[in-house]
Chains A and B, each alone.
Chain A
Amino acid sequence: MKLPIIKGIKKETAVSLLAVVFGLVAGALFMLMTGNNPFAGYAFLFQGGLMSIERIGNTLATSTPLILTGLSIAFAFKTGMFNVGAAGQMLFGGFCATAVGLTLNLPKPLLLTLMLIAAILGGALWAWVPGFLKARFNVHEVVSTIMMNWISYWVVYYTVPAYFKGEFLETESRKISDHASLKVAWLSDLFGGSYINLGILLAVIAVIVISFILDKTVMGYELKSVGFNRFAAEYAGVSVNRSIILSMMISGALAGLGGAALYVGNASNIQIGILPSQGMDGIAVSLLGANSPLGVLGAAIFFGLLYSGKGFMNAMTNIPPEIADTIIATIIYFAATSVMIEKFIDRIIRRKRGE
């Protein structure tokens, strides 16, 4: 269904855009309530993410893990699975990549390839468990992925200090060498010394590949059919159990890749005692992006902008940086209650028609 006011834009897009507007308005109200000027706040927030080529590079780098986790969760959603475990999958995937990067000494292209394969396999393995439990025993994936998050947390918590301890701190791994990093000189130079890295290219490739799988392949069609109606899909001859496991593994692989982008791209070591926040934010990204790969790309860059600008805003005003998280959370609430927004849009349409 198309809207008469903004022709050519799908209703889903309109809902997402309105959710963003409501989220920003809510953010402005919170700024006002705490005695700050919302116009100045937002001006600094967007300047912080965009005012120089270096900051734009940093914004894109901040968005990279979000694109991948958002894509991961969106892909699982398409098959009717809610993957709350992206945090654990990306942590374990990132840990595998770091472990390979710290252990092997190979030429950069070969080493990076192996590290990325390790990240993909690590993430896929971590998501295989909930996928298998769902397919075989009908264990609800929300609880099992949360359990897997904590298992991942503790595995990294104990393994990093035991085998990859940092030079100064017990709570982080050694730094990976330059040729085990996704950072490359030409890309950093292009963006004026930003920490942007090959991760962003990987993320864009992932977006293209996932759109292709979902829209142009039999496998994608089958996975989506399971998401729409698993009984109808089964009747039509789709192996539902196989689809569930496969979809979770691809989802986990994407999250694992996101872990590589975070720990061996944006950062150069892995911290223990923390689950990456991008796992939960990925849910927000996929919701706002209406589970479409292109939507995910747009939503992740927008959230990346909020995150990368919040430091500058905090430096220039008294607004705490958590406003960015608050805005994102509010956007998600509005996206989750999209029925309300749809009714609102319908009412506008009716008024335009003069009913």
Chain B
Amino acid sequence: MWNIIVQIFPYAIAFTIPLLITALGGLYSERSGVVNIGLDGLMIVGAFTGALTIFKLQPILPDAAIWIGLLAAMIAGILFSLLHAFASINLNANQVISGTAINMIAGALTVFLARNITGSGNIRIISGFGRNDIPVLSSIPVIGKLFFTQTYASTWLVLLILLISTFVLYKTAFGLRLRACGEHPHAADSAGVNVYKVRYIAVMISGAFSGLGGAVMLVTFSGEFTGNVAGLGFLALAALIFGQWKPLGILGATFFFGFASTIANVSQVVPVLAAIPGLILKVFPYIVTLIALVIFSKSSQAPRAAGEPFDHGKR
């Protein structure tokens, strides 16, 4: 049993990381009061831009190509998220519908462009990140085997972003203002906070993180852009709610999804799990999410103003 856990742990973490960073992006956006169900589309944009950049650069700059690809994915995510920011902040559009439009545009436009570039609509990169053992730490008993062997560089980057985000959201003036905009924008406004600006920044951060999420998925376990991200963006959105709009809650929720999905994926080759019907393993994360939503519904920590357009003159 222990061997199995040690074997699947790196895969579970690899699957968790894109979910984590995307959900973290959603956290910024929703905490500022803008619901962003376009996370899936933003991930697709990130995966596409990352794949294209790495595909073009890898022959020239084999070492730096992946990092440049990740950066390009973040920038593309930011640019694309501006569509959502403009619609939901300036035009008071229904944020859920605008997010749906983002998902549809991203899915269609990226494949359209990819087809113009490669013909098949898929973009395969030559190689992604390698897996490395962390020196010294990997030899710690128990923990070393689980957390510090076979890791991707991107994993550490995302965990670092998680730490910084927790600090920014809870320990800085900007974080306080951002949360105020999501709870009571008019109070924030009367205290001199520019609600529009804060929400714009928050949505752009969600774009950058989701773009990064899509690209991380590409350079770790998928290796190919195929026009979708297997619905991970929606799963990230569920993890955001499951994690009750808190950084550590999100970490727990995304790791749960990562672990449950990995178990379902490897169940065929693990004798202990092969006895459980595949269907049960596959639907397990979704059913648990539904149950969790029911349990948390009584004490929901949802930002109070999430989804509501900010109207300066409204009282």
Q: Which residue of A lies closest to B238 (CB)?
A: A143
Q: What is the minimal beta-carbon distance from A141 to any residue of chain B, in angstroms?
A: 10
Residues of A contacting B109 in the complex (Cβ-Cβ under 8 angstroms): 30, 322, 326, 329
Contacting pair B104 A143 (CB below 8 A): no
Please state if A144 and B87 are interface contacts (CB–CB under 8 Å): no
| Residue contact A332 to B100, C-beta cutoff 8 Å | yes
Encoded as 1 (CB less than 8 Å from any A CB) or 0, chain B from 267 to 293 comes to 000000000011100110011011001
Render A275-290 as a binary contact track against B, CB cut-off 8 A, 1 for contact: 0000010011001000
Tell whether A336 pairs with B241 under 8 Å between CB atoms, given A150-B231, A330-B105: no
For B238, list chain A residues within 8 Å (CB).
143, 146-147
Q: Is the CB of A333 within 8 A of B105?
A: yes
A256 to B30, CA, bound (A): 33
Judge whether B297 is part of the interface by a CB distance below 8 angstroms.
yes
Q: Is the CB of B105 within 8 A of A329?
A: yes
Which one of B93, B102, B112, B290 lies within 8 Å of A147 (CB-CB)? B290
Binds B, one of A106-114, A151-159, A165-173: A151-159
Could you tell me the distance between the alpha carbons of A336 and B96 in the complex, rounded to whole angstroms?
9
Query: Shortest Cβ distance from A142 into chain B, in angstroms?
Result: 6
- B107 is an interface residue with CB less than 8 A from chain A: yes
Q: With the chains together, A144 CA to B93 CA distance in Å?
A: 23
Q: Which of A39-47, A132-140, A217-225 contacts B (4 or more CB under 8 A)?
A: A132-140
Verify if A213 is at the interface (C-beta below 8 Å from B).
no
Tell me the smallest distance from the CB of A34 to a CB of chain B, in Å: 5
Chain B proximity mask over A330-341: 1 for CB below 8 Å, otherwise 0: 101101111110
Nearest CB of A to B39, in Å: 12
Q: State the CA gap A94–B193 with chains docked (Å).
A: 52
- The interface on chain B, measured as residues whose beta carbon lies within 8 A of the other chain's beta carbons, has a size of 45
- Residues of A near B297 (CB, < 8 A) are 137-139
Q: Contact between A339 and B93 (Cβ–Cβ < 8 Å)?
A: yes
A287: which B residues are within 8 A, CB to CB?
97
In the complex, the answer to whether B286 meets A150 with C-beta atoms within 8 Å is yes
Q: Give chain A interface residues in 29-69, CB to chain B under 8 Å.
A: 30, 34
A248 within 8 A of B: no
Report whether A157 and B94 are in contact in the complex, using a CB–CB cutoff of 8 Å. Answer: no
Q: Is the CB of B115 within 8 A of A144?
A: no
B249 interfacial by beta-carbon distance below 8 Å: no
Beta-carbon nearest neighbor of B35 in chain A = A142
Nearest CB in chain B: distance from A320 CB, A: 4
Number of A-B contacts (CB under 8 A): 127
Nearest Cβ on chain A to B191's Cβ, whole angstroms: 28
The yes or no answer to B29 lying at the interface (CB within 8 A) is no
Query: Considering the chains assembled together, what is the distance between the CA atoms of A328 and B101 in angstroms?
Result: 9
A12 proximal to B (CB < 8 A): no
Q: Does A249 contact B (CB under 8 A)?
A: no
Measured CA separation A34–B111 after assembly (Å): 13
Chain B contacts for A34, CB-based, 8 A: 112-113, 116
**A residues near B279, Cβ cutoff 8 Å:** 154-155, 157-159
A320 engages B105 (CB within 8 Å): no
A336 adjacent to B293 (CB under 8 Å): no
Cα separation A154 to B267 with both chains bound (whole Å) = 15
Supposing A333-B83, A333-B87, A336-B93 touch, asked if A325 and B107 sit within 8 A by C-beta, the answer is yes
In the complex, whether A82 has a CB less than 8 A from a CB of chain B is yes
Cβ contact of A320, chosen from B104, B116, B282, cutoff 8 A:
B116
How far does the alpha carbon of A333 sit from the alpha carbon of B93 in the complex, in Å?
Answer: 10
Q: Which residues of chain A are within 8 angstroms of B241 by Cβ–Cβ distance?
A: 140, 143
> In the complex, what residue of chain A is closest to B111 when comparing beta carbons?
A322
Judge if A207 is at the interface, Cβ distance under 8 Å. Answer: no
Q: Are B286 and A139 in contact (CB under 8 A)?
A: no
Check A300 for interface membership: any CB of B closer than 8 A. no
Are A142 and B98 interface neighbours, CB within 8 A? no
Which single member of A147, A283, A328 contacts B289 (CB below 8 Å)?
A: A147
A226 part of interface (Cβ distance < 8 Å): no
A347 to chain B, nearest CB (A): 15
Contact, CB under 8 Å: A337 / B98: yes
Cβ contact of B104, chosen from A139, A150, A151, A332, cutoff 8 A: A332
Contact between chains at B104 and A82 (CB < 8 Å):
no
Residue B37 interfacial (CB < 8 Å): yes
CA separation between A340 and B287, bound complex, in Å?
Answer: 40
* Closest CB in chain A relative to B121 CB, distance in Å: 7
Residues of A within 8 A of B91 (CB): 337, 339-340
On chain A, the residues within 8 Å of B37 by CB distance are 142
> In the bound complex, do residue B115 and residue A322 qualify as a contact, i.e. CB atoms below 8 Å apart?
yes
Q: What is the CB-to-nearest-CB distance from A20 to chain B, in angstroms, rounded to a whole number? A: 14
Nearest CB in chain B: distance from A166 CB, A = 19
B230-264 residues at the A interface, CB under 8 angstroms: 231, 234, 237-238, 241
Q: How far is the CA of A82 from the CA of B237 in the complex (A)?
A: 16
B residues in contact with A322, CB < 8 Å: 108-109, 111-112, 115, 121
B282 neighbours in A (Cβ, 8 Å): 154, 157-158
Binding site for A on B (CB under 8 A): 37, 83, 86-87, 91-94, 96-98, 100-105, 107-109, 111-113, 115-116, 121, 231, 234, 237-238, 241, 277-279, 282-283, 286-287, 289-290, 293-294, 297-298, 300
14 more CB-based (< 8 A) A-B contacts, given A146-B237, A325-B104: A82-B97, A133-B294, A137-B298, A138-B297, A144-B293, A146-B234, A151-B286, A151-B287, A322-B115, A328-B108, A329-B101, A337-B87, A337-B98, A339-B92
CB pairs A–B below 8 angstroms (26 shown): A82-B96, A133-B294, A139-B297, A143-B289, A144-B293, A147-B287, A147-B290, A150-B283, A154-B283, A155-B279, A157-B279, A157-B282, A284-B104, A287-B97, A320-B112, A322-B115, A325-B104, A325-B107, A325-B112, A326-B108, A328-B104, A332-B97, A332-B105, A333-B101, A335-B101, A336-B98
A residues neighboring B (CB under 8 Å): 30, 34, 82, 84, 129, 133, 137-140, 142-144, 146-148, 150-151, 154-155, 157-159, 280, 283-284, 287, 320, 322-323, 325-326, 328-330, 332-333, 335-340
Closest 10 CB pairs of A and B: A325-B108, A329-B104, A320-B115, A322-B112, A329-B105, A158-B279, A333-B101, A154-B282, A326-B108, A137-B297
